[in-house]
Amino acid sequence: MNKGKLFVISGPSGAGKSTVITRLLKQLNNVYFSISATTREPRRGERDGVDYHFMKKEEFEKLIDEGQLLEYAEFVGNYYGTPAKPVDQKLEAGYDVILDIETKGAEQIMAKRPDAISIFLFPGSFAILEERLRLRGTDSEEKILKRLAQAKIECKKAEMYDYIIINDRVETACDEVIAIITAEKCKTAGRLHYLKEEN
């Protein structure tokens, strides 16, 4: 059996990562969606192992020290990151693994895992991105402008990624991600064993 493949889906805030991934997971079998670990307190309604793996700070720092995180970051005193072990176990078992990661974390993973397939999601234009951020209605004007400026910086690094998906229609974006997953599994290296003479 072939090992699974690791797919990193990233892009600026407002690109629609979680909408695309939610739809994706409904359409795909044999795919594992990696859940992040965090040291922050669970919010009302959040469940351990569903929304996040909630961890004590010491546990998380142990993972850092042992190099057992694919990526991590610290925000306002809390850690967030992706433990390597559950991802590797699923890959070994033949599952494809999908990570939803902000761009800094995605860069860490690309550096650590050259075999990871990276997909950058973008809404199609900065005007659409701005509209989406406003429609959310959760951010102040200042925060919206900050997110937009941040998105422009993040887009400059999009050439590091293997694929770019323009998420102007979630159905199309989703179909394209599925096509990428299918195509990556057709890559020659993973299929040469079918051509051996003993077959």
H-assigned helices in 32-140: 57-65, 84-92, 103-112, 126-136
Member of 163, 169, 170, 171 binding its own copies (CB under 8 A): 163
59 sits near its own copies (criterion: CB under 8 A): no
From the CB of residue 178, how many other CB atoms can be counted at a distance below 10 Å?
15
Q: One symbol per residue from 93 to 122: x for binding its own copies (CB under 8 A), - otherwise; what is it?
A: --------------------------xx-x
Assess contact for 12 and 154: CB atoms under 8 A.
yes
Give the nearer residue to its own copies in terms of CB position, either 63 or 117: 117
Give the nearer residue to its own copies in terms of CB position, either 88 or 175: 175
Strand order in the sheet with 69-75: 53-54, 37-38, 78-83, 69-75
Q: One symbol per residue from 140 to 159: x for binding its own copies (CB under 8 A), - otherwise; what is it?
A: ------------x--x--xx
Q: Which residue from 72, 33, 80, 76 is spatially nearest to 53, judged by alpha carbons?
A: 80
7 sits near its own copies (criterion: CB under 8 A): no
* Amino acid in the structure at residue 109: I
125 sits near its own copies (criterion: CB under 8 A): yes
Q: One symbol per residue from 170 to 199: x for binding its own copies (CB under 8 A), - otherwise; what is it?
A: -----xx-xxx-xxx-xxx--xx-xx-x-x
